[in-house]
Structure 1
Amino acid sequence: MAGNLLSIGKTGLFAAQAGLATTGHNIANAHVPGYSRQQTVQTTMTAQDAGYGFVGSGTQVADIKRYSDEFLNVQVRNAQSTTSALASYNAQITQVDNLLANTTSGLSPALQDFFKSVQSLSANAASTPSRQNFLSSAETLAARFQGINGQLEEMRSGVNSQITSNVTLINSYATQIATLNDQISSLSNSTGHAPNDLLDQRDQIVLDLNKQIKATAMRGDNNTITVSIGSGQPLVVGNKSFELAVTPAPGDRSRLEVGYVTGTRVTQLSAASLGGGELGGLLDFRSTTLDHAQNAIGRVAIGMAVSFNAQHRMGQDSAGNLGGDLFKVAPASVSANMNSAPPDSPPSDVTAQVIDPSMLTTSDYMVEWNDSEAAYTITRLSDRDVTIVPYSPSGAHVGSKDGISFTITGKEVSGDAFLVRPTINGAAQFAVVPRQVGDIAAASPVIIGPLPASPPGWTGNKGNAVVSDGSVNGNFLPPNPAFAPVTIKYNAATNELSGFVNNQTVEVTVAGVKTQYTAGTAPVIPFVAGASYEFGGVTMTMRGLPVDGDQFTVKRNSGGVGDNRNMVLMGELASKPLLDKGTATYQAGFAQLVSSVGNKAREVQVNGLASESMLARANAVQQSVSGVNLDEEAANLLKYQQAYQAAGKVMQIASTMFDTLLSLGR
């Protein structure tokens, strides 16, 4: 009996010792990230039949239980993934928002200063200082466009660097999880018990992995887990880990994407499938904000360059020459053919040109050969809207979409694909063309007025008819026939205007109704008060009533140094809706970009705060199950201490009883 009592005391002593060790372990690791509290699980040892009943034989430690709820762990991981993505997105978009909305270094002040210089030159076209101020303001505007684009490019380069770092860290976590899987499986199989501390380490690494990318963990055999990402790509299976890699995007070698490594092959993963974590936040920022911002500011630059160039060409510089381009227009960026066909396949090529900046969007486009349509298609990537290019069995395939003309040459081959980015370089390549103040075409190239009273016998017009200053359009410019000066004469008997170049088309607009006549042929060209007359690219309006024989000259402007008429027309471009299908001015177009980025930044900030709150709540609930409560552990210490002392007392009594039995036998 004493021996049994001694054995019982010993089992109690060992159980209390295990309880003390487990409690001490909890206290020591209370502040270790990912640690889950543990507790000894005791069971009663098999009782022995003593004839009069079953006598207990003590206790044993059956297991060390780890308090971890997988459902709560998944909630924390998901919340952590979302929070990290929003924090990453917010850190990036805040930079863009500050850059665009800056009242000193943003684009708006430079635009305002430029248009002020246009107005100043309009008021004093002959002033050399005003002309120099105009060129300086234009240079400042170009530098501002280029500077903003340069900072956006730096952010793009920074995103590439962070993507590379994140992928390296994800691969490291995958390797660590696979190693822990192997250790946990081996120990679980050999001992039949789960190595709790290793499970905690692995769960913490899975949580850290979700800070980088949204990952899903599923339980496997022998306490292993399978980790997958994206649309189900396995990252860890048992003791084997798989790798991600950074790879240049098809059509844009400077843009890094995330690929999945299979053997020697890297398959690009869709950015949309890699949501969550810092990596998902970076990819989302780049595709929805950075690309849009760079394309939008490029669209404003191209819109300005095209419209100002068109007006500047219809002016005249100080030397009497027609104006050239005022700004450089960036060509559309077209990638090399992404077709993986053999090299000996006949190559095709794509060129793209902006023909109507008012129709430009901020989207990129994909031009592809579509086998089912037997034609090339143009896909607007922002909404996947598709336009079919008319098929041409020989020569070039030509199509247009959103103010862009696409020309496809060469033999079509299945798999042909080209990425077209019409506005991506608009701000980067925006530059001022004229270098001398005399090159500014501020004057109109024609001058219209009554015939001077200088010819012999001519005493001037007798009527009160007046003509407008006149303007020119594209028909005035080469390669159209050279402008020929004319003297227009009024014949009261027939109410006609004559003197136009024979066989020249004269378009008369009355109350919005246009009628075309051919000079020198019937019917005659009538005089209508208030009508507009267009001929040879010149447009003029006649008001009042002429008298028979009154004459008006239309000739090249030979002394237009102080003429400001073309500069006035350029100044009017500031208030004209020339973007967004004719609904937005340049300032409004940029303001839309600033507003959209600001609203998105605020949205991300608000969602980030909400996500942080959800993460804190999820952590609190998880810690209520897995966290170490030091007050509770202190109570457990006292409990196990008392149990240890009591078990020791049992063994002491058993020893005393044994000594008594020995003394009886002497």
Structure 2
Amino acid sequence: MGLGFGFDSGLRGLTAARMQMQLSGHNIANVSTKGYSRQNAVLSSSLPATLGRFQIGTGVDVTNLQRIVDGQLNSRLRTQQGIFGKALIDYRRSTEIEGILGEPGPSGISNLFGQLFGDLGKLQTDPASTALRGGFVQSAKALTSGLNLLASRLGGLQSNTFAEISTQVKNVNEYASRIAELNKEILSVEANGTAANDLRDQRDMAIQGLSDLMDTRVLERNNGVTDILAGGHLLVSGGIASQLVTTRDTKNTSKVLLKNNDQPLEIRGGRIGALLHSESKRIPELQSKFNALAFNGALEFNRLHTTGLPRNGGFKNLVSENPVRDGDGDGKYDDELLAYAGLPFEISRGELYISVTNESNGDLTRKKIDIDPLSMTVGDFADELSKAAHVSATVDPTGRIRISASDGYRFDFSNQIDSSPNSRGTLSGKSASLGGSERGPFDFSSLPANFTIAVDGAAPTTITLNSLDFNNPSKVEAEELSSVLKAKFNAAGVSADAVVVGDSISLLSTSSGTSSSLSLVDGANSPLATLGLPVGITAQGQDNAMSVSVMGTYTGESNGHFRFVPDKDGEIGVTPGLTVGVFDQTGTRLATLNVGKGYSHGDRLDVAHGLQVSFGPGELSATNQHQFALDTLADPDSSDVLVGFGINTFFTGSTAADLGVSSRISSDPNLFAASLKPNAGDGANLIKLLQTRHLSVDSLDNHTLESYYSDIASSIGFETKRATELIASEEKLLSFLHEQRENVSGVNIDEEMVNLVKYQQAFQASSRFINVVNQMTDVLINIGR
């Protein structure tokens, strides 16, 4: 042991004390630095010196300068930071969506629905009032505008999400680049064994910031470098950081990709995860619900409106609202099948009835059109409409259906009851008539067939039916047969007409009065027998036609007709036991009306399903098979073809974004179809329209329109409440973890001051020790002199 042995121990003590004081000063200086981890010196006794049989200590060494951290706690903190970031975005989105709804409030959809049905109810008090009609139309426009605004704001929120995601992805790239740079610096510093404590703190802060944005996994190598996995991909590898980019897919949904890689990252956590979920799931689900509300509201309301009547009782012209899509790109619209015409509402297999009214006498004729969207083209539909008497329909260059009536006529699609169903005189009219007892479709598979007809005493004329006359001879509908017979009578110069009576055929002379006559003789293959027409008798016309009036509203649940047939010959109100049988379209007798002796002309007789009938004076003939038919329509359009094309619809559009009120009704509220009868004061359709308020809609989970919206609003309110509670809970847990970290890694001023005094005393003691050793050394040196 040399003379300087004590000096080494003292100097080591001075160095350790000075370094500890330096660290305390560093800790105190960073007491407010975010993410700073308290540091201390790790001391150990230096290697001892051997003196004989003894080992004498040589002082203290500073072996390391360490950060005080809890790795598990920091990992939990990063995880919680991501959970909090996601909860924060969810909370903000919930409050934004709740604000968009504006419930409860005057501009909320709930209130607008109430105003709509309230004004519709007011219109019931005076259906002819233009002012009340206008008030209802304005309420409808307010509702559609409210839905439009709601859809626009949700769409804007979704569009803005892309910008938000792009901003956050930019932040991710900055964090990733910073982590990669810090990795390189840490690797360089720690290569020679020096702890890069402050650099590690900075890296931890960057990783925590990254965890707030997206779910991450941290992997630390033995050399101190940290790799970051994000969304299933390596975001940071040592000193290299991958860059993320934001793009949109074919559905206009945001995707986060690695640059130069088409594979999207699966990001579920953090702010970006919440934004992606909001854009791809939450907002689209809400949009889908509001679109379903608009779609089904328009569908149910338009189903009733299309088959209603405006104030003037019918239409001279109508143009469809919804254009056809040129699916095959040939520049033509009329060749498109109804099923693939690109219309907003689906057309199904069913039937449509179009009614034509003679404005001069009120006579009504009706044509049934069978709709099959898989075989009927747009042009076919227009052609079928044009087959209705005095109606013309075309497909215009914009792909819309244009329908017009001849001068003196109006058309509609209502279920109005023909109040004068015997206007053609098939039941004791001025013209001679013979009625068929058989119902179509008729089997004319054995063709050719012929019969002879004699009118007004003229020579009999032979009428021949051929297979080419019919689309399907084995299944000939009454309407098709009527058209063929009319054409053949006209070609042969026969003054006769063929009239459809329900599913049967009646033949009439076109002359009138007692000089009018009609007789038939069956021929080859017995076509008259197929129709059930009487042969071998001569029917005579009359000077006066029998008047028949029908009253009431049909309350049945299916479309069809009532056929009225006398049970025997006789005079109304005179012949004892004279009755008229009433049969439905299946041939089932529904009622037997007593019109014989004791019946007073004009007395109303109950028929069935809310209808009544009265008869004027006249002769009935069961021999001639007199008959008349009355169409009974529960749904004049069971195919939704009118709704599909937008013919006489009230609402236009089919989504919350494009729902509106027809411009023609906005311009003239008198076109609002409040009626089912051709008079201005009728409000029968208003009753049906009001019932839509309480209608349970299958595609809305059996909700009414208002209850469906109420459920949406309630669920949004619940989600907002839950998001508020969740953000408070997650924030509390995050704060707790931060407090825990501060307890472990934070700087305590009081503790540092105590340590500083301790280190100062250690420094002073080491200094005094050196002085003592110095004095001892001097003594020893002096002894040796």
| TM-score past 0.5 threshold | yes
| Paired residues of 2:7 and 2:773 also in contact (CA < 8 A) | yes
In structure 2, relative to structure 1, the CA distance for the partners of 1:251 and 1:63 (3 Å cut) is: same
For 1:16, the equivalent position in structure 2 comes to 17
1:579–1:115 Cα change, 3 Å: farther
Contact 1:19–1:640 under 8 Å retained in 2: yes
Contiguous gaps of at least 5 residues in structure 1: 335-348, 358-396, 399-440, 477-483, 499-505, 509-515, 518-522, 530-538
Which position in structure 1 is the counterpart of 2:279?
286
Partner of 1:468: 552
With over 3 angstroms needed to count, the CA separation of the structure-2 counterparts of 1:351 and 1:205, relative to structure 1, is farther
1:512 aligns with none
Query: Counterpart of 1:279 in structure 2: which amino acid?
Result: I
Partner of 1:120: 122
Once the two structures are superposed, residues 253-298 of structure 1 have per-residue CA deviations (whole angstroms, 9 ceiling, x without a partner) of xx3222222xx333223xxx31221111212223342111111111
**Which runs of structure 2 are paired with 1:157-176 in the superposition (5 Å)?**
157-176=159-178
Larger radius of gyration: 2
**1:595-625 deviation line (CA, Å, top 9, x unaligned):** 2222222222222222222222322333322
Aligned partners of 2:212 and 2:271 also within 8 Å: yes
Does 1:184 find its partner at 2:186? yes
Q: For 2:701 and 2:44, locate their aligned partners in 1 and report how far apart those are by CA, in whole Å.
A: 82
The offset of 1:30, in angstroms, is 1.8
The DSSP-based 3-state class of the residue aligned with 1:114 is helix
- For 1:260 and 1:302, how far apart are their aligned partners in 2? 40
* In structure 2, distance between residues paired with 1:331 and 1:293: 29
CA gap of 1:466–1:148, structure 2 versus 1, over 3 A, is: same
Match of 1:201 in 2: 202
Equivalent of residue 263 in structure 2, options 263, 267, 277: 267
Q: Within 2, Cα distance between the matches of 1:331 and 1:241?
A: 53
Contact kept in structure 1, 2:417 and 2:550, CA below 8 Å: no
- Give secondary structure in 2 for the equivalent of 1:222: coil
1:18–1:40: 8 Å Cα contact kept in structure 2? Answer: yes
Q: Compute the displacement of 1:459 (Å).
A: 10
* Distance change in 2, residues 1:229/1:325 (3 Å): farther
Summarize the Cα distance change of 1:549–1:172 in structure 2 as closer, same or farther, 3 Å threshold: farther
Residues 27 and 38 in structure 2, CA contact (< 8 A), matched pair in contact too: yes
Q: Are the structure 2 counterparts of residues 356 and 58 from structure 1 closer, same or farther at C-alpha, using a change threshold of 3 Å?
A: farther
Which deviates the most, 441-450 or 41-50?
Answer: 441-450
Amino acid across the alignment from 1:265: N
CA shift digits 1:432-452 (9 cap, x unpaired): xxxxxxxxx999562455889
Residues 654, 445 of structure 1: alpha-carbon distance in 2 compared, 3 angstrom cutoff: same
Distance 1:582 1:331, change over 3 A: farther
Give the 3-state SS of the residue equivalent to 1:279 in structure 2: helix
Corresponding residue of 2:609: 541
In structure 1, C-alpha distance between the alignment counterparts of 2:239 and 2:150, rounded to whole Å: 48
Residue pair 1:85, 1:279 contacting (<8 A) in 2 also: yes
Q: Is the 8 A contact 1:44 1:60 kept in 2?
A: yes
| Counterparts of 1:11 and 1:127, CA distance in 2 | 107
Q: Secondary structure at the match of 2:308?
A: coil
Rounded to whole Å, the distance in 2 between the matches of 1:571 and 1:558 is 17
Residues 156, 53 of structure 1: CA spacing in aligned structure 2 closer, same or farther, 3 A cutoff? same
Q: Give the corresponding residue for 1:154.
A: 156
- Matches of 1:324 and 1:303, distance apart in 2: 27
Distance 1:557 1:580 in 2: 27
1:341-396 deviation line (CA, Å, top 9, x unaligned): xxxxxxxx996854399xxxxxxxxxxxxxxxxxxxxxxxxxxxxxxxxxxxxxxx
Does residue 527 (structure 1) correspond to residue 591 (structure 2)? The answer is yes
Aligned match of 1:355? 346
| RMSD (CA atoms) | 4.0
Displacement of 1:123: 2.5
Aligned to 1:436: none
For residues 330 and 450 of structure 1, the distance between their equivalents in structure 2, rounded to whole angstroms, comes to: 37
Separation (CA, whole Å) in 2 of partners of 1:545 and 1:488: 10
- CA shift, 1:561, in A, is 2.0
List per-residue Cα deviations over 1:172-209 (Å, max 9, x = no partner).
Answer: 100000111111111111x2132011111101111111
- Equivalent in the alignment of 1:305: 298
Question: What's the offset of the Cα at 1:490?
Answer: 6.5
Give the Cα–Cα distance (whole angstroms) in 2 for the partners of residues 475 and 544 of structure 1.
18
Asked if the contact 1:214–1:277 (Cα under 8 Å) also holds between the matched residues in 2, the reply is yes
Alpha-carbon displacement from aligned partner over 1:203-256 (angstroms, at most 9, x marks no partner): 1111111111111101113101111112x211111111112211112233xx32
1:567 to 663, 686, 690: 686
Does the CA-based 8 Å contact 1:309-1:327 persist in structure 2? no
Q: Give the partner amino acid of 1:626.
A: S
Q: Is the 8 A contact 2:553 2:611 kept in 1?
A: no
- State the distance in 2 between where 1:639 and 1:159 align: 57
Q: Distance in 2 between matches of 1:572 and 1:640?
A: 89
8 Å Cα contact 1:120-1:130 kept in structure 2: yes
Please state if 1:72 is matched with 2:73: yes
- Find the aligned partners of 2:546 and 2:343 in 1 and give their Cα distance: 58
Give the deviation of 1:301 after TM superposition: 0.7
Cα 1:283–1:327 shift into 2, 3 Å: farther
Question: Aligned equivalents of 1:564 and 1:112: distance in 2?
Answer: 20
2:416 paired with 1:446: yes
For structure 2, the 5+ residue unaligned runs are 328-339, 349-372, 375-410, 424-428, 430-542, 569-576, 594-606, 619-627, 633-674
Cα distance between partner residues in 1 of 2:178 and 2:417:
82
2:736 is aligned with 1:617? yes
For 1:260 and 1:497, the matched residues in 2 are separated by: 82
Structure 2: distance between partners of 1:15 and 1:70: 27
Per-residue deviation, 1:474: 11
Percent identity for Structure 1 against Structure 2: 24
Partner SS state of residue 60, structure 1: strand
Q: 1:524 to 1:287 in 2, by over 3 A?
A: closer
Deviation sequence 1:104-147 (CA, Å, 0-9, x none): 22211111111122222232111010111122111111111111
Is the aligned partner of 1:136 residue 2:141? no
Matches within 5 A, 1:43-58: 43-58=44-59
Per-residue CA distance 1:522-575 (angstroms, 9 max, x = gap)? x5754279xxxxxxxxx9824689899899987998842222122221121111
- 1:211 maps to what in 2? 212
SS of the residue corresponding to residue 33 of structure 1 reads: coil
Does the 8 Å CA contact 1:448/1:470 hold for their aligned counterparts?
Answer: no
The CA deviation string for residues 411-453 of structure 1, in whole angstroms up to 9 with x for no partner, is xxxxxxxxxxxxxxxxxxxxxxxxxxxxxx9995624558899
Q: CA deviation at 1:318?
A: 3.0
What CA deviation, in whole Å up to 9, does each residue of 1:491-514 have, x standing for no partner? 58696546xxxxxxx8x4xxxxxx
* SS of residue in 1 equivalent to 2:263: strand
